[in-house]
Amino acid sequence: MEPLQQEIHLTFGYQVYFTTDVFASENPLFKDVLSRGGTVRPQKLLAVVDRGVLQHHPDLLDRLEAYAAQHRTHLALAAPPVVLAGGEGVKNNPEYVDILHQAIHRAGLCRHSYVVAIGGGAVIDAAGFAAATAHRGVRLLRVPTTVMAQADASVGVKNSVNAFGQKNFLGTFAPPYAVINDSRFLTTLSSRDWISGVAEAVKVAVIKDAAFFGFLELHAAALAGRDLALMQQVIRRCAALHLEHIATGGDPFESGSSRPLDFGHWAAHRLEHLSGYALRHGEAVAIGVALDSTYACLAGLLPVFDWRRLLDTLMHLGFRLYVPELHDPRLIPQGLDEFREHLGGRLTITLPLNLGRSLEVHEMDLALINQSISLLCRQAAKTPRG
């Protein structure tokens, strides 16, 4: 008997907005974005807020409440906001996802209601996972508050939490309803969280956009010195490159084995875990990018001159490119194995060919990885910060 044949063609669309002070009474963006979601008034939302953000913006909940009251015909808080500890702990402890599911249930959210996640990449990832799995998908409006989250973590179609000692083991592909990047939040970031997201910008520039790499190289010191206008440009370009890849790369839900945006991530994810999450994701990505670029250079793929520019740029931004976990025997085989499993299919590692271009390899030479680690270690010993 012939099989029944089915094809489903879907189009997803969402906006990434840029604004300053999203909950200011005179800023209509948040209300307008929610109002576009349908004719039911008011639109119901549950806010999930990163406690680290609240510590630096103590009036945030009052301002959200005042904004909702001012626009009560358009939107309504379905329940008091859920405040979660910020940072990777929220992805490591399954209780938080449970807390979020319970809150969504108690608030009576339907599939046309909104979870509004306000926080760093970790809170956004966990809230996104809870929203995507409650009722098989409640709308998610992301309001990212770190450079990492605005430039990368919040603009894509993935969410996740960690499990079984593995990064992002549980998660779904679920495009957000919308993303609102508010530059006001960036002013209160610690120096680590200010710069760590720029590692993703370097990552994507190295494999896709030589001009953007030049921009990062030129402005590395100013970015490290907290130039907000420059950082906003970096965030916008980095977000655009990620979005463009998702939209036009031919594999938005990552069914294949290739994942260029995960350049440098096989080591990064493992280093985060081996450091007990003392390393920020971006800090680990900077090291992972340095490691795979060093490997590419030693393998004769990346010219020495480009390799030097890349490492110098990362160092001028303030990244350490060597940590003792690089010498942990559990790094290499497990890191590569987990990466392959998470991708599915063949091991596929993206390596830079020169600045702005990359190629994929399906095997990594362990001796050459170790040689690359030794080189990064020797270099760190020579430079005060390296």
Q: Is residue 50 involved in binding ligand NAD (CB under 6 A)?
A: yes
Of the candidates 165, 148, 193, 176, the one whose C-alpha atom is nearest the C-alpha of residue 94 is 165
Which of 113, 133, 146, 348 is in the footprint of ligand NAD by CB under 6 A? Answer: 146
Which of 78, 134, 148, 290 is in the footprint of ligand NAD by CB under 6 A? Answer: 148
Q: Is residue 183 involved in binding ligand NAD (CB under 6 A)?
A: no
Q: CA-CA distances (angstroms) from residue 138 to 74, 109, 130, 275?
A: 18, 8, 9, 34
Question: DSSP for 225-263?
Answer: TT-HHHHHHHHHHHHHHHHHHHHHSS-TT--SS--GGGT
Strand residues in 53-209 grouped as ranges (E): 75-77, 82-84, 114-119, 139-144, 158-163, 166-173, 178-182
Q: Is residue 188 involved in binding ligand NAD (CB under 6 A)?
A: yes
Q: Is residue 56 involved in binding ligand NAD (CB under 6 A)?
A: yes
Nearest to ligand NAD of 153, 235 (CB atom): 153
Q: Is residue 306 involved in binding ligand NAD (CB under 6 A)?
A: no
Region binding ligand NAD by CB under 6 A among candidate stretches 51-59, 71-79, 173-181, 364-372: 51-59
Q: Is residue 335 involved in binding ligand NAD (CB under 6 A)?
A: no
Handedness of CA 181, 183, 187, 190 (dihedral sign): positive
Q: Could you tell me which residues are beta bridge partners of residue 168?
A: none
> Which structure tokens are listed for 132?
């995507």
Nearest to ligand NAD of 45, 143 (CB atom): 143
Q: Is residue 351 involved in binding ligand NAD (CB under 6 A)?
A: no
Q: Under a CB-based contact definition with an 8 Å cutoff, are residues 208 and 122 in contact?
A: no
Nearest to ligand NAD of 91, 273 (CB atom): 91
Q: Is residue 149 involved in binding ligand NAD (CB under 6 A)?
A: yes
Which of 29, 33, 47, 53 is in the footprint of ligand NAD by CB under 6 A? Answer: 53
Q: Under a CB-based contact definition with an 8 Å cutoff, are residues 354 and 300 in contact?
A: no
Q: Could you tell me which residues are beta bridge partners of residue 82?
A: 48
Rounded least distance, CB 85 to ligand NAD, Å: 7
Which residue has its beta carbon closest to ligand NAD?
Answer: 52
Rounded least distance, CB 286 to ligand NAD, Å: 12
Rounded least distance, CB 54 to ligand NAD, Å: 9
Q: Under a CB-based contact definition with an 8 Å cutoff, are residues 339 and 196 in contact?
A: no
Of the candidates 129, 143, 119, the one whose C-alpha atom is nearest the C-alpha of residue 93 is 129
Q: Under a CB-based contact definition with an 8 Å cutoff, are residues 235 and 249 in contact?
A: no
Q: What part of residues 86-125 is at the interface with ligand NAD (CB under 6 A)?
A: 86-88, 91, 119-123, 125
Interface with ligand NAD (CB under 6 A): 50, 52-53, 56, 86-88, 91, 119-123, 125, 145-146, 148-149, 152-153, 156, 158-159, 185, 188-189, 193, 196-197, 280-282
